[in-house]
Amino acid sequence: MALSGVENLARMPELKKKLMWTFLLLAFYRIGIHVPVPGVDTAALSDFFASVQNTLFGMFDMFSGGGLRKISIFALGIMPYISASIIIQLLQVVSPELKRISKEEGAAGRKKITQWTRYATVLITVVQGFGIAVGLESMTSPAGAPVVLSAGWAFRLITILTLTAGTVLIMWIGEQITEKGLGNGISLIIFAGIVAGLPGAILKSFKLVGAGELNPIMGLGLLVLMIAVLGAIVFMERGQRRIPIHYAKRQMGRKMFGGQTTHLPLRINTAGVIPPIFASSLLMFPATIGSFARDNEILQQISAWFSPQSIIYNILFVALVVFFCFFYTAIIFDPKDIAENLKNSGGFIPGIRPGGKTREYIDKVLSRITLWGSFYIAAVCVLPMLLIASLNVPFYFGGTSLLIVVGVAMDFMSQVESHMISRQYEGLMNKSKDRGRK
């Protein structure tokens, strides 16, 4: 099967080109992770992060692909862009003008929305870059060595410019992957950062077992649990509710059309990996300043509230996951459009009237499925958080990271398969045309 897949790939130059673009751009992103911001003592910074593992910094570092730990030019990762996207999408709900631009103006409207999202990303990056610069100036290693070699406004401005340029570059890489490569560029960037940290997380787990800090039986149980979580994610991501669709027979000239029976597949998790990413992004944003401002007790208290191990964080996380599951599903799946398309093409759901009743039925079924799907995502993401707090396991084993890795990998493979199937279909059509000419 593997050799057959390689042979098929060799016959599809356009698919090879897309894969090459995707891997080259991701490799470029991973190289940039190792380029540090000027004026930072990397040794003192490494000692500092070694002392704050499995805290809020661990979550920041996971979504930045390890860039925060090194304070690289990509330290902020893609999260400012995700935060800007959330803000713009929420504004489209409350602003009739934005909603009109995005829907009625077509490609030009979407281009405007994308441009405003970029501007908002730069603004958010400047604010977060200033907070990181100020926070770095107050950091010291456990031995007392300052992280910043020469503090002051010169360092702050250079840090802001460097981090802003890095985030804009990541944003461009993500857009290029989506346009010229395969899969969603933003999701693949986060995926690449998480996968790059998995070997280190596995190694740390073995070290914990070897040092006696983690019971071998507990470590084995943790491994079994992670495998079970992976299996549950794959099972749920493939799960769907199939609504039967019948098409009435219609005669056009001498030919009879219709009379078919098919189904409308509704996925349990229609929103994919977007809800946990959006929820994490929002919860990390208010905690950023508190994490770096060590001298302010109020901000430190806020940072403690938004720690991944806190009850407040997990309650808010579950609430936001449920909200974004419904919110994002409503954006990408409109029951009204589906009902109108079915009515125009002569399709109907058995026992349901076409038009408004069909829309209400699809909306009702979709709402029920989305509710259970949101509970599944929240459970997968929150359960490992409790393990982190109780067992001191590496943060990369968190449910959010597992969900993103599995979800993005499945979406990527499905796009590869769809390209291969469409190419095979085109080949069959060309052969049939050649035979017809003969």
Same domain, 286 and 433: yes
As a residue count, the chain comes to: 438
- Residue 217 confidence (pLDDT): 78
Same domain, 176 and 292: no
Q: Residue 356 falls within a domain, yes or no? A: yes
Per-residue DSSP letter, 270: T
Per-residue pLDDT of the chain (438 residues; tens, 9 = 90+): 444 455 555 567 778 888 888 899 999 888 888 888 888 877 777 777 666 555 556 666 666 666 677 778 888 888 888 888 888 887 887 777 777 777 766 677 778 888 888 999 999 899 888 888 887 777 776 677 777 878 788 888 998 999 999 999 999 998 899 888 888 888 888 888 888 877 777 777 777 777 776 677 777 777 787 788 888 888 888 888 888 888 776 655 566 555 677 888 888 888 888 888 888 777 776 666 555 555 666 666 666 677 666 788 888 888 999 998 998 888 888 888 888 888 887 788 888 888 888 889 989 999 999 999 899 888 888 876 666 666 655 545 667 778 888 888 888 888 888 777 766 655 555 555 555 555
- Residue 164 confidence (pLDDT): 92
Q: Residue 48 falls within a domain, yes or no? A: yes
| HSE value, Cβ hemisphere, 13 Å, CA-based, for 422 | 8
Per-residue DSSP letter, 265: E
Q: Residue 406 falls within a domain, yes or no? A: yes
Same domain, 141 and 221: no
Q: Residue 289 falls within a domain, yes or no? A: yes
CA distance 340 to 65: 43
- Residue 155 confidence (pLDDT): 86
Same domain, 236 and 191: no
Last residue of a domain, one of 172, 199, 226: 199
How many domains does the chain divide into? 2
Q: Residue 186 falls within a domain, yes or no? A: yes
**What contacts 259, CB < 8 A, 6 or more positions away?**
247, 248, 249
Range of the domain at 308: 214-438
Residues 403, 377 contacting (CB under 8 angstroms): yes
- Residue 38 confidence (pLDDT): 85
- Residue 348 confidence (pLDDT): 82
Q: Residue 208 falls within a domain, yes or no? A: no
Same domain, 189 and 219: no
Paired tokens of 1 = 């099967």
Q: Residue 41 falls within a domain, yes or no? A: yes
Same domain, 182 and 114: yes
Last residue of a domain, one of 199, 232, 261: 199
Backbone angles phi, psi at 394, to 5 degrees: -60, 145
- Residue 1 confidence (pLDDT): 42
Long-range contacts from 218-222, C-beta under 8 angstroms, 24+ separation = 218/391, 222/387, 222/391, 222/393, 222/397
CA distance 183 to 21: 11
β-bridge partners, 266: 241
Same domain, 351 and 434: yes
Residue type, 110: R
Per-residue DSSP letter, 433: H
**Three-state DSSP class for residue 296:** coil
Angle at 241 between CA 236 and CA 246, to 5 degrees: 155
CA distance 129 to 413: 36
- Residue 197 confidence (pLDDT): 77
Same domain, 179 and 253: no
Q: Residue 392 falls within a domain, yes or no? A: yes
Same domain, 193 and 227: no
Q: Rounded to two decimals, what is the model's pTM?
A: 0.76
Same domain, 171 and 245: no
- Residue 3 confidence (pLDDT): 44
Same domain, 409 and 377: yes
CATH number, domain containing residue 343: 1.10.3370.10
Same domain, 249 and 387: yes
From the number of C-beta atoms within 10 Å of its C-beta (0-12, 13-18, 19+), residue 218 rates as: middle
**DSSP symbols for 404-428:** HHHHHHHHHHHHHHHHHHHHHHHHH
Last residue of a domain, one of 133, 164, 199: 199
